Amino acid sequence: MTARRGLSSLNLTFLGTASAQPSLTRNHSALALRLNSDVWLFDCGEATQHQIQRSQVKMGKIEKIFITHTHGWDHIFGLLPLLASMLNGAGGTADGVEDPRTHMVQDSLDPIEIYGPFGTRAYVRNGLKHTHTLLGAPYVVHELRLPSDPPDGDHNLHASESPTGRNIPQTNGVWSDVYRDSIISVSAAPILHSVPCIGYVVTEAPIPGKMDPAKYIPHLKRTKTPMSAMSRLQQGESMELSDGTMLHGPLKRPGRKLVILGDTYDPSPIAELASSADLLIHEATNAHLPALDSNTKAEDTFESVEARTKARGHSTPQMAGAFAARIGAKQLVLNHFSPRYPGNDDVDPTAKTIMEGIAHLAEEHYSGKITCARDFMSFNVDVTQESA
Ligand SMILES: [Zn+2]
Ligand SMILES: [Zn+2]
């Protein structure tokens, strides 16, 4: 695992943007967040490793995988094949005799960390076990538990599974700091879907403000250790010189805040945690586009489409826009589209018209920047400009 001193780049790459069935232009859900060269993956639908191979994301750099919910098809069916490839999986034996090399490797490596709801651990454990798959490096599953989740029934670890997996309880309805290091933290909260589902909030620690050397150097020259004094000021500290002069470092700026939601018809429980996000990623599975979508049924209305979308546990673009406005998000990215909306809007004018129509619906409730994700779309998340 790479130690991170600061984030020079924070990049998002959409590896899959389809709900339900994949299409020729959209694969199942997966999102890569690149923190400098490390990669964190959010969801891992079927064939995610193929998408990784076709992208700039390096499979060997994946450190952590966050699962929003255990709907197999479009969110987790790609996880076991990805683990097998990432961790040099090999076939085991039918009687369960382990390859002793597995333990040798496991003792010397940090495990790949997987976070997800109840069921994630059993899915990975049993999937590997019943397919006779041994991994050449360890993994661990941390489960974000709801009070209603049943207790663990199976304590038999897979040979490749680290025993350090945690069951993380909620505090005041959220999971705070499920991961934290000196420059980035991850918290989470439940969001409403047809099955238990999680939204993740990734927050960068406050960033040191810009130093104006001309302001400080004349004073620092009079100190015995100007370099260390400079570095303390750079971190926003204040110090008093021997002649009583007070020097104050520049104020820190807020770090970037990304909110990555899984499937939802109502993400209200995460609203407070997600407030003032620099970027919100929200699903928009179905839309009513009567003038644009030739598959529109004659009897459909905005109300009927929204009711049907909600009943299936999903959102319309208007619902996504309303939530982005509610939390004061600076930017909204829509994803998880019905396969009826082609994802080649960069080259196909008809697909472009449909995706613009979807963005316009979100604009009814939200005035910030709106982007409709397509597979392999990749961009850097900018640093917030306002001072603290
Ligand atoms: Zn889904
Ligand atoms: Zn789902």
Boundaries of every domain in the chain: 10-206+254-380, 214-248
Q: Is residue 135 scored above 60 in pLDDT? A: yes
95 included as an active-site residue: no
Which tokens belong to 58? 């390096």
pLDDT recorded at residue 362: 98
Q: How far is the CA of 70 from the centre of ligand 2 (A)?
A: 8
Q: How far is the CA of 196 from the centre of ligand 2 (A)?
A: 9
Which tokens belong to 76? 């987790």
Q: Is residue 92 scored above 80 in pLDDT? A: no
Instruction: Output phi, psi for 319, to 5 deg.
Output: -65, -40
- Where residue 93 falls among pLDDT bands split at 50, 70, 90? low
Name the catalytic one among 38, 43, 74, 346. Answer: 74
Predicted structure pTM score: 0.91
Q: Is residue 98 scored above 70 in pLDDT? A: no
Inter-CA distances, 188 with 143, 176, 371, Å:
12, 6, 23
What average pLDDT does the chain have? 91
**Ligand number nearest to the C-alpha of 28:** 1
| Pairing relationship of beta strands 184-191 and 197-204 according to DSSP bridges | antiparallel
**Mean pLDDT within 234-251:** 87
**Ligand number nearest to the C-alpha of 286:** 1
pLDDT recorded at residue 149: 96
Q: Is residue 229 scored above 80 in pLDDT? A: yes
Please state the CATH superfamily assignment of the domain spanning residues 10-206+254-380 in this structure. Answer: Ribonuclease Z/Hydroxyacylglutathione hydrolase-like (3.60.15.10)
**Residue 213 burial (C-beta neighbours within 10 Å; 0-12, 13-18, 19+):** exposed
Which tokens belong to 160? 């490749």
Q: Is residue 256 scored above 90 in pLDDT? A: yes
State how far the Cα of 135 lies from the Cα of 87, in Å rounded to an integer. Answer: 6
**Residue 385 burial (C-beta neighbours within 10 Å; 0-12, 13-18, 19+):** exposed
**Mean pLDDT within 216-225:** 84
